[in-house]
Amino acid sequence: MGLGFGGEVARFYQRYRRGYPPAVFDALVEAFGLTPEDTVVDLGCGTGQLTLPIAARVRAVVGVDPEPDMLELARQAARDQLFGNVGWLLGADTDVPALAALLGDGRVGAVTIGQALHWMDHDTLFPRLRPLLRPGGGVAVVTNGTPLWLQDTAWSRALRGCLEQWRGAELSQPCGTDAASQRRYADSLVAAGYDVEQRTVDYTDEIDLDDLVGGVYSALSRDALPAPEQRTEFATRIRDALHPETRFPESVRVTVLAGRRR
Protein backbone atom coordinates (compact mmCIF):
# COMPACT_ATOMS: atom_id res chain seq x y z
CA MET A 1 0.00 0.00 0.00
CA GLY A 2 1.46 3.38 -0.97
CA LEU A 3 1.27 6.16 1.62
CA GLY A 4 1.93 8.87 -0.92
CA PHE A 5 5.51 9.72 0.10
CA GLY A 6 7.10 7.58 -2.61
CA GLY A 7 8.85 8.38 -5.89
CA GLU A 8 9.23 12.04 -6.75
CA VAL A 9 7.52 13.17 -3.55
CA ALA A 10 10.41 11.68 -1.56
CA ARG A 11 12.89 13.59 -3.72
CA PHE A 12 10.93 16.85 -3.34
CA TYR A 13 10.74 16.20 0.39
CA GLN A 14 14.48 15.79 0.72
CA ARG A 15 15.27 18.80 -1.41
CA TYR A 16 12.69 21.31 -0.24
CA ARG A 17 11.52 20.39 3.25
CA ARG A 18 13.41 22.45 5.74
CA GLY A 19 15.30 20.79 8.55
CA TYR A 20 15.20 21.80 12.20
CA PRO A 21 17.33 24.53 13.80
CA PRO A 22 20.05 23.51 16.31
CA ALA A 23 17.96 24.83 19.25
CA VAL A 24 15.52 21.94 18.64
CA PHE A 25 18.27 19.39 19.22
CA ASP A 26 19.42 21.29 22.32
CA ALA A 27 15.82 21.07 23.58
CA LEU A 28 15.69 17.30 22.94
CA VAL A 29 19.04 16.72 24.67
CA GLU A 30 17.90 18.79 27.65
CA ALA A 31 14.41 17.30 27.91
CA PHE A 32 15.65 13.71 28.16
CA GLY A 33 19.22 14.20 29.40
CA LEU A 34 20.54 12.59 26.22
CA THR A 35 24.23 11.67 26.26
CA PRO A 36 26.67 10.05 23.80
CA GLU A 37 25.71 6.73 25.47
CA ASP A 38 22.08 6.92 24.35
CA THR A 39 20.08 5.18 21.67
CA VAL A 40 17.27 7.11 19.95
CA VAL A 41 14.44 5.85 17.74
CA ASP A 42 13.18 8.31 15.09
CA LEU A 43 9.72 7.09 14.10
CA GLY A 44 8.41 8.38 10.77
CA CYS A 45 11.96 9.51 9.98
CA GLY A 46 11.27 10.41 6.34
CA THR A 47 14.45 11.54 4.63
CA GLY A 48 16.20 12.03 7.96
CA GLN A 49 15.55 15.70 8.91
CA LEU A 50 15.63 14.81 12.63
CA THR A 51 17.52 11.53 12.42
CA LEU A 52 20.90 12.77 11.27
CA PRO A 53 21.35 15.83 13.51
CA ILE A 54 20.27 13.81 16.55
CA ALA A 55 22.72 11.06 15.54
CA ALA A 56 25.50 13.60 16.00
CA ARG A 57 24.55 13.89 19.68
CA VAL A 58 24.02 10.25 20.74
CA ARG A 59 25.52 6.78 20.39
CA ALA A 60 23.09 5.42 17.80
CA VAL A 61 19.78 6.15 16.11
CA VAL A 62 17.28 3.83 14.45
CA GLY A 63 15.26 5.60 11.74
CA VAL A 64 11.92 3.89 11.11
CA ASP A 65 9.62 4.66 8.17
CA PRO A 66 7.11 2.66 6.09
CA GLU A 67 8.04 4.37 2.82
CA PRO A 68 11.06 2.70 1.15
CA ASP A 69 11.83 5.70 -1.07
CA MET A 70 12.04 8.06 1.93
CA LEU A 71 14.20 5.56 3.78
CA GLU A 72 16.54 5.07 0.82
CA LEU A 73 17.17 8.82 0.52
CA ALA A 74 17.76 9.05 4.28
CA ARG A 75 20.22 6.17 4.10
CA GLN A 76 22.05 7.82 1.20
CA ALA A 77 22.25 11.15 3.08
CA ALA A 78 23.71 9.33 6.10
CA ARG A 79 26.31 7.68 3.85
CA ASP A 80 27.16 11.00 2.16
CA GLN A 81 27.58 12.71 5.52
CA LEU A 82 29.61 9.79 6.90
CA PHE A 83 27.22 8.87 9.70
CA GLY A 84 28.14 5.37 10.82
CA ASN A 85 25.73 5.18 13.76
CA VAL A 86 22.30 5.16 12.10
CA GLY A 87 20.31 2.03 11.26
CA TRP A 88 17.24 2.14 9.04
CA LEU A 89 14.15 0.03 9.46
CA LEU A 90 11.21 -0.27 7.09
CA GLY A 91 8.28 -0.16 9.49
CA ALA A 92 5.47 1.84 11.01
CA ASP A 93 4.01 2.71 14.43
CA THR A 94 2.30 -0.67 14.38
CA ASP A 95 5.74 -2.33 14.38
CA VAL A 96 6.72 -0.91 17.77
CA PRO A 97 6.08 -4.23 19.60
CA ALA A 98 8.64 -5.93 17.30
CA LEU A 99 11.04 -3.03 17.82
CA ALA A 100 10.59 -3.35 21.59
CA ALA A 101 11.41 -7.06 21.37
CA LEU A 102 14.54 -6.22 19.38
CA LEU A 103 15.83 -3.41 21.61
CA GLY A 104 14.72 -4.75 25.00
CA ASP A 105 13.22 -2.88 27.95
CA GLY A 106 14.60 0.40 29.27
CA ARG A 107 17.27 0.90 26.60
CA VAL A 108 16.10 3.94 24.64
CA GLY A 109 16.80 7.56 25.60
CA ALA A 110 14.16 9.07 23.34
CA VAL A 111 11.68 8.27 20.61
CA THR A 112 11.34 11.26 18.30
CA ILE A 113 8.36 11.69 15.98
CA GLY A 114 8.91 14.62 13.60
CA GLN A 115 5.89 15.92 11.72
CA ALA A 116 4.53 12.39 11.45
CA LEU A 117 2.27 11.65 14.44
CA HIS A 118 -0.88 12.59 12.51
CA TRP A 119 -0.28 9.42 10.46
CA MET A 120 -0.22 7.23 13.55
CA ASP A 121 -2.60 5.93 16.22
CA HIS A 122 -1.09 7.93 19.10
CA ASP A 123 -3.40 6.54 21.82
CA THR A 124 -2.10 3.03 21.07
CA LEU A 125 1.46 4.12 20.36
CA PHE A 126 2.36 6.10 23.51
CA PRO A 127 1.73 3.24 26.01
CA ARG A 128 3.59 0.83 23.71
CA LEU A 129 6.65 3.07 23.64
CA ARG A 130 6.88 3.48 27.42
CA PRO A 131 8.63 0.16 28.27
CA LEU A 132 11.39 0.86 25.71
CA LEU A 133 12.45 4.04 27.52
CA ARG A 134 15.17 4.29 30.13
CA PRO A 135 14.39 6.30 33.29
CA GLY A 136 14.27 10.00 32.37
CA GLY A 137 13.83 9.12 28.71
CA GLY A 138 10.75 9.98 26.73
CA VAL A 139 8.79 10.63 23.59
CA ALA A 140 9.16 13.87 21.62
CA VAL A 141 6.40 14.93 19.26
CA VAL A 142 7.97 17.56 17.02
CA THR A 143 6.19 19.81 14.52
CA ASN A 144 7.94 21.89 11.91
CA GLY A 145 5.91 25.04 11.20
CA THR A 146 2.41 25.63 9.89
CA PRO A 147 1.82 24.31 6.35
CA LEU A 148 2.71 26.92 3.72
CA TRP A 149 -0.95 27.47 2.73
CA LEU A 150 -2.36 27.82 6.27
CA GLN A 151 -0.25 30.67 7.59
CA ASP A 152 -1.58 34.04 8.67
CA THR A 153 -0.17 36.10 5.81
CA ALA A 154 -1.64 37.50 2.59
CA TRP A 155 0.65 35.37 0.39
CA SER A 156 -0.29 32.19 2.28
CA ARG A 157 -4.02 32.89 1.89
CA ALA A 158 -3.51 33.54 -1.83
CA LEU A 159 -1.57 30.28 -2.11
CA ARG A 160 -4.35 28.37 -0.36
CA GLY A 161 -6.97 29.79 -2.72
CA CYS A 162 -4.86 28.85 -5.73
CA LEU A 163 -4.21 25.30 -4.50
CA GLU A 164 -7.84 24.72 -3.56
CA GLN A 165 -8.90 25.82 -7.02
CA TRP A 166 -6.34 23.54 -8.68
CA ARG A 167 -7.28 20.54 -6.56
CA GLY A 168 -11.02 21.24 -6.32
CA ALA A 169 -10.94 20.51 -2.59
CA GLU A 170 -10.59 22.41 0.66
CA LEU A 171 -7.11 22.34 2.24
CA SER A 172 -7.50 22.69 5.98
CA GLN A 173 -5.51 19.79 7.50
CA PRO A 174 -2.94 21.37 9.89
CA CYS A 175 -0.95 18.10 10.21
CA GLY A 176 -0.72 18.21 14.00
CA THR A 177 0.62 21.78 14.16
CA ASP A 178 -2.56 23.35 15.60
CA ALA A 179 -3.31 23.93 19.29
CA ALA A 180 -6.16 21.38 19.39
CA SER A 181 -3.92 18.57 18.08
CA GLN A 182 -1.16 19.53 20.51
CA ARG A 183 -3.65 19.35 23.40
CA ARG A 184 -4.87 15.96 22.24
CA TYR A 185 -1.33 14.61 22.02
CA ALA A 186 -0.43 16.06 25.44
CA ASP A 187 -3.54 14.53 27.08
CA SER A 188 -2.79 11.19 25.47
CA LEU A 189 0.83 11.27 26.72
CA VAL A 190 -0.31 12.09 30.27
CA ALA A 191 -2.87 9.24 30.18
CA ALA A 192 -0.10 6.87 29.05
CA GLY A 193 2.15 7.74 32.02
CA TYR A 194 4.34 10.60 30.83
CA ASP A 195 5.05 14.03 32.35
CA VAL A 196 4.60 16.54 29.56
CA GLU A 197 6.11 19.90 28.74
CA GLN A 198 6.05 21.88 25.53
CA ARG A 199 9.04 23.78 24.24
CA THR A 200 8.93 26.06 21.23
CA VAL A 201 11.61 27.37 18.91
CA ASP A 202 10.60 30.40 16.82
CA TYR A 203 12.49 31.89 13.94
CA THR A 204 11.85 33.77 10.71
CA ASP A 205 12.74 32.66 7.24
CA GLU A 206 12.18 33.91 3.72
CA ILE A 207 11.65 31.64 0.74
CA ASP A 208 11.43 32.27 -2.99
CA LEU A 209 8.97 30.93 -5.56
CA ASP A 210 11.06 27.85 -6.32
CA ASP A 211 11.16 26.92 -2.60
CA LEU A 212 7.44 27.57 -2.33
CA VAL A 213 6.46 25.38 -5.28
CA GLY A 214 8.92 22.67 -4.20
CA GLY A 215 7.54 22.86 -0.67
CA VAL A 216 4.02 22.35 -2.01
CA TYR A 217 5.15 19.34 -4.08
CA SER A 218 6.82 17.85 -1.00
CA ALA A 219 3.50 18.01 0.85
CA LEU A 220 1.33 16.45 -1.84
CA SER A 221 0.71 12.75 -2.07
CA ARG A 222 2.23 10.97 -5.05
CA ASP A 223 -1.22 10.72 -6.67
CA ALA A 224 -1.90 14.44 -6.27
CA LEU A 225 1.42 15.64 -7.69
CA PRO A 226 0.88 17.51 -10.98
CA ALA A 227 2.22 15.46 -13.91
CA PRO A 228 5.62 16.71 -15.18
CA GLU A 229 3.99 18.31 -18.25
CA GLN A 230 1.58 20.25 -15.98
CA ARG A 231 4.22 21.69 -13.69
CA THR A 232 5.02 24.84 -15.64
CA GLU A 233 1.33 25.74 -15.63
CA PHE A 234 1.07 24.87 -11.93
CA ALA A 235 4.03 27.09 -11.00
CA THR A 236 2.74 29.90 -13.25
CA ARG A 237 -0.65 29.82 -11.54
CA ILE A 238 1.00 30.11 -8.14
CA ARG A 239 3.28 32.90 -9.33
CA ASP A 240 0.31 34.82 -10.77
CA ALA A 241 -1.78 34.31 -7.62
CA LEU A 242 1.05 35.71 -5.48
CA HIS A 243 2.04 38.55 -7.83
CA PRO A 244 3.73 40.99 -7.27
CA GLU A 245 5.45 39.24 -4.31
CA THR A 246 8.49 37.15 -5.20
CA ARG A 247 9.89 36.60 -1.69
CA PHE A 248 7.77 35.05 1.02
CA PRO A 249 8.59 35.74 4.68
CA GLU A 250 7.58 33.09 7.18
CA SER A 251 7.38 32.97 10.96
CA VAL A 252 8.27 29.38 11.72
CA ARG A 253 7.32 27.81 15.04
CA VAL A 254 8.82 24.42 15.84
CA THR A 255 7.14 22.72 18.79
CA VAL A 256 8.66 19.95 20.87
CA LEU A 257 6.08 18.19 23.01
CA ALA A 258 8.28 16.26 25.38
CA GLY A 259 6.68 13.40 27.31
CA ARG A 260 9.10 12.14 29.96
CA ARG A 261 8.46 8.63 31.23
CA ARG A 262 7.09 8.74 34.80
Alpha-carbon radius of gyration of the chain: 19
Q: Which is nearer to ligand SAM, 5 or 241 (CB)?
A: 5
Number of residues counted as binding ligand SAM (CB under 6 A): 21
Binders of ligand SAM among 85-104, rule CB under 6 A?
92-93
Site for ligand SAM (CB under 6 A): which residue of 3, 29, 60, 77? Answer: 3
Site for ligand SAM (CB under 6 A): which residue of 115, 151, 177, 181? Answer: 115
> Which residues neighbour 250 within 8 Å (Cβ) at sequence distance 6 or greater?
145, 148, 151, 153, 204, 205, 206, 207
Q: Does 69 bind ligand SAM (CB under 6 A)?
A: no
Distance from C-alpha of 13 to C-alpha of 90, rounded to nearest angstrom:
18
Query: Residues 6-25 vs ligand SAM: string with x where CB under 6 A?
Result: -----------x--------
User: Which amino acid would we find at residue 3?
Assistant: L
Site for ligand SAM (CB under 6 A): which residue of 45, 99, 163, 254? Answer: 45
> CA 84: distance to chain centroid?
22
Question: Concatenated DSSP letters for 50-104?
Answer: THHHHHTTSSEEEEEES-HHHHHHHHHHHHHTT--SEEEEE--GGGHHHHHHHH-
CB 47 within 8 A of CB 73: yes
Site for ligand SAM (CB under 6 A): which residue of 109, 114, 147, 226? Answer: 114
Q: Which is nearer to ligand SAM, 150 or 241 (CB)?
A: 150
What minimum distance in Å lies between the beta carbon of 168 and ligand SAM? 23
39-43 and 108-114 beta bridge pairing: parallel
Binding site for ligand SAM (CB under 6 A): 3, 5, 17, 43-46, 49-50, 65-67, 70, 92-93, 114-116, 119-120, 144
